[in-house]
């Protein structure tokens, strides 16, 4: 299906880059305002090319030079890394680079002519020709260095250029998004609506509390039916798409920074969403935040025959995101550091200019089919210029109504990237005559698992016995149509037991979640003994007969909790089956 372009690329197009001076990089950085220098200091994609791994990105600089005013207006509307005033300098550097390349080509041709003459010359003419050839080589060496510096300056800026914008895209920020379609209706409830985290904890599907010492902030566990629900969603979506002709893929989670940059992301940004590994051991690897990067890397530096287009692929991958905007959605599954996602990715031709737009419409139609099958109320938004991101020519977001949040929340997006990614990653297709052309790429989220779980739990919650209904599309996968309230005791942390909270149905004290120091542990322990909650002991033991740890012991245990020395213990619903361990130990199920 795909052919490595090393066997097809034009003659001479893969000429190795000459060594270059980093002084050009410093000059390039100084040309941009301070708040936008971070991305300009380094380009992994250019370094990837410089080291000979890939061909040079062939950006559409002809359009930039011929339509400079339009490009400046587009850059200003999108509010990205570049500003309109940066474009003339990009054009100027590009023209200088082209002039140097032209002079290099002329001198290289002249050098070959001199070399051919030398073979047939007698001694006097031979010496003059050698002197001429030496002067040409010296001039070429200077031009090679200048070419490398100009090339570096060019790519450090030009790679930040955004894609073109579809004329129908609204201009402005997120508030200017246009509602294209609304599917279904908001569900009405005759009881108090609960959020997904409350539902998940009550049904023992989700655990997010007391994980700071385990996996840090914005992490979570799925358990029992919650884990089954994730598997069911993944299988349902993958099965649906494979029946539509999609090719399933398993992609790497670790990828080179050049692939991220080729997809239009900024792995070296000050607040990059991409996690990087230890730079002393793995200097160029990043954890992918979406399966799109892995699939795009699969097609990188390859050509697909036009007869095989469009290629529709789907993958389910684990996504890792730094979520640097920590002030938003601090609790719940809406914004987390690690999650699973099913991603669609398409590669298509550019013969009529409409192929990628048609593929985008197809992907959005599939998204609507999936979400309708899950009986969700959602709306489709045509996103404005400031929400597109650098690679998108046009982008549709789908937001589902989440009753617990009382608002719509984004559950998927679909983007037409035209030839933006393919020009940077050298994703080509071979035409009928054997000529190579840059393909168009389209990507779309088929199912972001955590946000889908939010939508399902909050939309399909039921009043009776705290159950949550699971729609028919998924009921065959986990073998159930109702997620029932848990019948066993919840996990309880040891500090609860030590402080007298022996009842399995009692919630963990909220104050314990926020303990950060020994002093706070002292205050909390004092509060525990002051309030002395009324609890029941085992049937064989009255409350008065129960042994309570003294205040100092409670502080010790709470401090140990801070130092990650405690673990959760499962309590049986029958407290008569619990026993005290010797010494300063907690209660544990037999």
Number of other CB atoms surrounding residue 51 within 10 Å: 11
Examine the pLDDT at 5 and tell me if it is beyond 80: no
Examine the pLDDT at 155 and tell me if it is beyond 70: yes
Q: Are strands 578-580 and 569-570 parallel, antiparallel or unpaired?
A: unpaired
pLDDT number for residue 35? 41
Cα–Cα distances in angstroms (integers) from residue 410 to residues 99, 447, 527, in the given order: 48, 11, 42
Contacts of 409 (CB under 8 A, 6+ apart): 334, 399, 400, 402, 451, 454, 455
Residue owning tokens 């609506």: 193
The confidence band for 481, taking pLDDT boundaries of 50, 70 and 90, is low
Gap between the Cα atoms of 326 and 321, Å rounded = 12
Q: What angle do CA 170, 451, 172 make, to 5 degrees?
A: 15
Mean pLDDT for 440-449 is: 97
pLDDT number for residue 492? 55
Average pLDDT score, the chain? 78
422 phi/psi in degrees, rounded to 5? -70, -35
**Is-contact 162 390, C-beta < 8 A?**
yes
Q: Are strands 311-320 and 247-249 parallel, antiparallel or unpaired?
A: parallel
Query: Which tens digits make up the pLDDT trace of 398-417?
Result: 999 999 999 999 999 999 99
Examine the pLDDT at 583 and tell me if it is beyond 50: no
pLDDT number for residue 466? 56
User: Three-state secondary structure along 97-110?
Assistant: HHHHHHHHHHHHHH
Mean pLDDT for 416-434 is: 95
pLDDT number for residue 15? 37
- CATH class held by domain 16-158: mainly alpha
Examine the pLDDT at 288 and tell me if it is beyond 70: yes
**Is-contact 408 400, C-beta < 8 A?**
yes
Examine the pLDDT at 421 and tell me if it is beyond 50: yes
Number of other CB atoms surrounding residue 130 within 10 Å: 14
Number of other CB atoms surrounding residue 104 within 10 Å: 16
Q: What are the tokens at 421?
A: 């990614």
Query: Which tens digits make up the pLDDT trace of 194-237?
Result: 999 999 998 889 998 888 888 888 899 999 989 999 999 999 99
31 vs 587, more confident: 31
Q: Where are the domains of the chain?
A: 16-158, 174-482, 491-589
Residue owning tokens 């001694």: 123
Mean pLDDT for 247-263 is: 95
Examine the pLDDT at 486 and tell me if it is beyond 60: no
pLDDT number for residue 463? 73
Q: Which helix (H) or strand (E) element contains residue 492?
A: strand 491-492
pLDDT number for residue 31? 44
What does the CA dihedral 266, 272, 274, 276 come to, rounded to 10 degrees?
100
The confidence band for 164, taking pLDDT boundaries of 50, 70 and 90, is very high
Mean pLDDT for 410-429 is: 97
Examine the pLDDT at 488 and tell me if it is beyond 90: no
Best CA proximity match to 28, nearest among 148, 156, 161: 156
In CATH, 174-482 is 3.30.930.10: yes
**Which residues are registered as beta bridge partners of 580?**
587
**Is-contact 440 417, C-beta < 8 A?**
yes
The confidence band for 182, taking pLDDT boundaries of 50, 70 and 90, is very high
pLDDT number for residue 216? 81
Mean pLDDT for 90-109 is: 94
Examine the pLDDT at 539 and tell me if it is beyond 80: no
**Is-contact 294 317, C-beta < 8 A?**
yes
Lateral strand order in the sheet of 302-305 = 2-4, 302-305, 427-430, 436-438
Q: What are the tokens at 326?
A: 């920590």
- Write the DSSP symbol of residue 51: T
The confidence band for 160, taking pLDDT boundaries of 50, 70 and 90, is very high
Number of other CB atoms surrounding residue 580 within 10 Å: 12
Percent of the chain residues topping a pLDDT of 90 = 54
- Tell if the pTM clears 0.85, that is, is over it: no
Per-position DSSP letters for 20-61, written without gaps between them: --THHHHHHHHTS-GGG-GGGG--HHHHHHHTTSSPPP---H
């Amino acid at each position: 299906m795909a052919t490595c372009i090393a066997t097809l690329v034009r003659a001479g197009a893969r000429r190795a880059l000459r060594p270059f001076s980093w002084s050009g990089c410093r000059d390039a950085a100084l040309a941009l305002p301070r708040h936008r220098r971070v991305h300009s200091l380094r380009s992994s994609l250019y370094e990837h090319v410089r080291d000979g791994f890939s061909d040079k990105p062939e950006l559409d600089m002809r359009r930039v030079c011929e339509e400079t005013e339009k490009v400046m207006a587009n850059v200003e509307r999108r509010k990205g890394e570049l500003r309109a005033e940066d474009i003339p300098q990009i054009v100027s550097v590009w023209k200088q680079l082209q002039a140097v390349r032209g002079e290099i080509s002329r001198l290289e041709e002249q050098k070959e002519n001199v070399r051919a003459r030398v073979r047939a010359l007698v001694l006097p003419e031979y010496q003059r020709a050698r002197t001429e050839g030496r002067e040409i080589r010296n001039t070429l060496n200077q031009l090679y260095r200048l070419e490398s510096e100009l090339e570096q300056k060019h790519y450090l800026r030009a790679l930040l250029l955004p894609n073109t914008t579809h004329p129908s895209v609204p201009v402005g920020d997120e508030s200017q998004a246009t509602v294209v379609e609304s599917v279904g209706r908001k569900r009405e409830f005759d009881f108090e609506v609960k959020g997904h985290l409350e539902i998940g904890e009550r049904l023992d599907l989700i655990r997010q509390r007391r994980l700071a010492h385990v996996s840090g902030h914005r992490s979570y566990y799925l358990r029992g039916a919650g884990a089954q629900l994730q598997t069911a969603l993944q299988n349902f979506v993958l099965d649906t798409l494979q029946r539509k002709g999609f090719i399933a893929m398993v992609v790497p989670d670790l990828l080179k920074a050049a692939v991220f940059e080729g997809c239009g992301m900024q792995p070296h940004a000050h607040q990059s969403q991409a996690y990087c590994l230890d730079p002393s051991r793995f200097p160029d690897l990043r954890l992918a935040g979406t399966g799109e990067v892995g699939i795009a890397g699969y097609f990188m530096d390859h050509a697909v025959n036009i007869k095989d287009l469009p290629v529709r692929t789907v993958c389910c991958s684990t996504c890792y995101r730094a979520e640097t905007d920590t002030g938003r959605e601090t609790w719940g599954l809406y914004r987390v550091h690690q999650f699973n996602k099913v991603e669609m990715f398409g590669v298509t031709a550019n013969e009529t200019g409409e192929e990628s737009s048609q593929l985008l419409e197809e992907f959005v139609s599939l998204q609507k089919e999936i979400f309708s099958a899950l009986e969700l109320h959602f709306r489709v938004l045509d996103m404005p210029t400031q929400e597109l991101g650098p690679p998108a020519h046009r982008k549709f977001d789908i937001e589902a109504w989440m009753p617990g949040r009382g608002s719509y929340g984004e559950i998927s997006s679909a983007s037409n990237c035209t030839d933006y990614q393919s020009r940077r990653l050298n994703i080509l297709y071979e035409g009928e005559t054997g000529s190579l052309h840059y393909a168009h790429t389209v990507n779309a989220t088929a199912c972001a698992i955590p946000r889908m779980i939010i939508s399902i739990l909050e939309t399909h919650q039921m009043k009776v016995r705290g159950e949550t209904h699971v729609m028919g599309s998924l009921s065959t996968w986990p073998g159930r149509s109702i997620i029932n309230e848990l019948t066993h005791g919840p996990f309880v942390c040891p500090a609860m037991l030590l402080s007298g909270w022996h009842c399995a149905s009692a919630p963990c004290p909220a104050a314990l979640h926020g303990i950060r120091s020994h002093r706070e542990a002292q205050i909390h322990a004092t509060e525990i003994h002051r309030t002395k909650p009324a609890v029941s002991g085992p049937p064989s033991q009255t409350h008065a007969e129960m042994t309570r740890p003294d205040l100092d012991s409670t502080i010790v245990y709470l401090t140990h909790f801070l130092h990650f020395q405690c673990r959760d213990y499962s309590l049986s619903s029958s407290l008569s089956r619990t026993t005290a361990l010797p010494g300063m130990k907690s209660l544990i199920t037999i």
